Amino acid sequence: MPRSIPVATLRGTVIRFHWTFVLFISAALVAALLTSGPAASGTLLALITAMFLCIILHEFGHITAARLFGIPTPEIMLLPIGGLAKLRRIPLEPKEELAIAVAGPLVSFVLFAGLILILGRQPDWEAIPTFNQDQFNLVEQLAVFNLAVGLFNLIPAFPMDGGRILRAMLAVNLPRPRATWIAARIGQAIAILIAGLGLFAGNPILAVIGVFIFFAAQSEARIDAMRNAIGGVSIGQVMVADRPRLKVSDPLLNAADLILHSDYEEIPVIEMDGALAGFLLRTDLDDAIVQFGPASTVRQAMQKDVPKMAVQSQADKAADMIEAGASAVGVIDRNGHFEGLVTKSTLLDALGVNSAMWPDHDALSHKPFEEQLKA
């Protein structure tokens, strides 16, 4: 099964189903069919479809706000725990991040208010978790769902909107790295409470959500520290230039041999004139061979819409792109020819050098990587 399935494109943003989302929906429908019959399964399908339409609207709240600040939004990924709008770059201005983060929950609260007006009464809170067929009301269920989504996303922990709202508010008076560090630690403390509550209450889903939030907060802090460590240097100083390359006309079997005999997660794919065409990801290889056949070319399997930066560009911009969801950033010269690439691991290497050279300070107070290179 592919990692994700594109299902629609809306206003230039691709909506994708992650494979875990497809698995989750399938399992839920089969369980409802076996335990309660076809009618219950159909009702559940209608409810899940409506819920995820609301999630898409929530994510388009973020997207609309991001576009007001000139930030492209290439895709939305739907996961079992909700949606994720991927931005081409992370907003660094507090007011921009605050506006984008608030927009999603605001949409959910507006949907809640509109559905309550349609319902014409307060929801029956006791009927919601039971999914009683005799008392089922789609409008009522959706109203409570949107209220829950809006409130849950205001929890001040990454990757929820509340974590970004907290960081934006702290960044008004603090340096962004310090604001991120504080917000991440608060988020991790909340994650521990959520996981502990899930274990105490015998709710494994809540425990898993707590663990997910904990590591997401940790990742957010590391990426921001990474950006701080490489501030001021060009991307050419942190890129990897000696990565093996594939041509667009190479057969997938050649690509399989190259990837399987290395530990690389992404291989740059080059046009015949030397221009960067895209990246072939290890995670896409098996699916591509099954879908297109081993004799097909790399062009058919590669990711074409990849971020590119000029070799003179600032490296922290690449960190923004990777934080926003890019697996790698291609580095090109003024003629568009491939020079190298930057991944999360290469940036973490820069952070590691920074930590090694300044062991007496934490990542938030390191001298910029540019000063290290001059030393």
Catalytic residue from among 59, 140, 220, 323: 59
Burial 302-329 (b: 16+ CB within 10 A, else e): bbeebbbbebebbbbbbbbbbbbbbbbb
User: What residues make up the domain containing 76?
Assistant: 1-154
What pLDDT band is residue 237 in, cutting at 50, 70 and 90? Answer: confident
pLDDT score recorded for residue 135: 62
The answer on 117 and 20 residing in a single domain is yes
The answer on 176 and 131 residing in a single domain is no
pLDDT score recorded for residue 165: 92
Say what percent of the chain tops pLDDT 70: 85
Do 85 and 10 form a contact (C-beta atoms < 8 A)? Answer: no
58 among annotated binding-site residues: yes
Q: Count of CB atoms within 10 A of residue 56's CB?
A: 19
Distance CA 107, CA 90 (A): 21
The answer on 212 and 176 residing in a single domain is yes
The answer on 187 and 92 residing in a single domain is no
337 among annotated binding-site residues: no
- pTM as predicted: 0.66
Burial of 49 (0-12, 13-18, 19+ CB in 10 A): exposed
**DSSP secondary structure string for all residues of 218-277:** HHHHHHHHHHHHTTTSBGGGT-B-----EETTSBHHHHHHHHHTS--SEEEEE-TTSBEE
Average pLDDT over residues 350-361: 46
Average pLDDT over residues 228-247: 75
Cβ contacts of residue 305 below 8 Å, gap of 6+? 74, 278
Distance CA 67, CA 99 (A): 11
Distance CA 264, CA 281 (A): 9
Residue 249, token pair as written in the block: 């006309």
Residue 369, token pair as written in the block: 């990587």
Q: Give the domain-ending residue among 128, 154, 180.
A: 154
26-39: per-residue pLDDT in tens?
Answer: 887 787 777 777 87
What pLDDT band is residue 361 in, cutting at 50, 70 and 90? Answer: very low
The answer on 292 and 197 residing in a single domain is no
The three-class DSSP label of residue 9 is strand
The answer on 172 and 143 residing in a single domain is no
The answer on 122 and 74 residing in a single domain is yes
pLDDT at 345 over 90: no
The answer on 148 and 164 residing in a single domain is no
Q: Give the domain-ending residue among 202, 229, 256.
A: 229
Q: Give the domain-ending residue among 154, 171, 201.
A: 154
The answer on 135 and 49 residing in a single domain is yes
pLDDT score recorded for residue 208: 82
List the single range of 71-75, 153-157, 250-254, 303-307 with lowest mean pLDDT. Answer: 303-307
The answer on 133 and 10 residing in a single domain is yes
Q: Has 93 been annotated as catalytic?
A: no
Cβ contacts of residue 345 below 8 Å, gap of 6+? none
The answer on 275 and 252 residing in a single domain is yes
pLDDT at 288 over 60: yes
pLDDT score recorded for residue 352: 52
The total number of structural domains that make up the chain: 3
261 among annotated binding-site residues: no
Distance CA 350, CA 173 (A): 28
The answer on 142 and 10 residing in a single domain is yes
Return the CATH number at 362: 3.10.580.10
pLDDT at 357 over 70: no
